[in-house]
Amino acid sequence: MPLLLLCCLLVTPLMGAEPVFTNEEWERAQGGKAVPTAGTAPVSSSPAPATGPALMSIGLSLAAVVGLAVVLGWVVKKVNVKRLMPRKGEHLEVLESLPLGFKRQVFLVRVGGQMVLVGSGEHELTALGTFPAPGLAPPPVPEAPPAPPVPVDGRFAGLLDQALGRKP
């Protein structure tokens, strides 16, 4: 907010600067004939090029807009706007998938407290069934294989014999 106020304070003095077009030039550009008023010089047929103060006003206005865009981009990056927006897939979790054939799969998806079995075809998705999440048993944990016995002598030949099943 203070940044916007600062930009307004910088641009406001530029608003009172010398106008880029006079009323006569504007009417002539619109197709009407401007009649010079008393006390003014006749208007020439070619428009006068923009002078230093007008170019300075335009340049400062452009610099203020570009500066504001850069500062706002930096602020958005620092605030991390993505963090404030809802995340995709926050309430969905694909537990398993099983390919059935060419472009055909079955997915088990957890949605809140429910499990949904979804079939995926080439052009469609179909809900095959729903059931409560606690009813699903966790997959069995495989047992760790037993550690191989260490030979008494500790030599490589003894280890190789044991791995191949030969007796020393």
Q: Are 131 and 97 within one domain?
A: yes
Q: Are 59 and 122 within one domain?
A: no
Q: Are 58 and 6 within one domain?
A: yes
- Phi then psi for residue 98, to 5 deg, are -135, 115
Domain that holds residue 55: 2-34+49-82
Residue 144's pLDDT is 75
Tokens 């037993």: give the residue. Answer: 146
Q: Are 67 and 113 within one domain?
A: no
Strands 92-101, 104-111: pairing is: antiparallel
Question: Exposed, middle or buried, 23 (CB in 10 Å: 0-12/13-18/19+)?
Answer: exposed
**Two tokens, residue 3:** 């940044």
Half-sphere exposure of 9 (CA within 13 A, CB side): 6
Residue 62's pLDDT is 94
Q: Are 28 and 70 within one domain?
A: yes
Any domain includes 141: no
* Among 124, 123, 136, CA closest to 93: 136
Sheet strands (E) in 38-163: 92-101, 104-111, 114-120, 125-132
Q: Are 25 and 61 within one domain?
A: yes
CA distance 123 to 129: 19
Residue 72's pLDDT is 92
Q: Are 66 and 123 within one domain?
A: no
Q: Are 105 and 66 within one domain?
A: no
pTM of the model: 0.32
List all residues 6 or more positions away from 23 whose beta carbon is below 8 Å from its beta carbon. Answer: 34
pLDDT per residue rounded down to tens, the chain (168 residues) = 555 656 655 665 556 666 677 888 888 888 765 455 555 555 555 666 667 788 888 999 999 999 999 999 988 888 877 676 666 667 788 888 999 888 899 999 888 788 899 999 888 989 888 888 765 556 666 777 776 665 556 677 777 777 787 765
Q: Are 15 and 65 within one domain?
A: yes
Q: How many domains does the chain have?
A: 2
Residue 69's pLDDT is 96
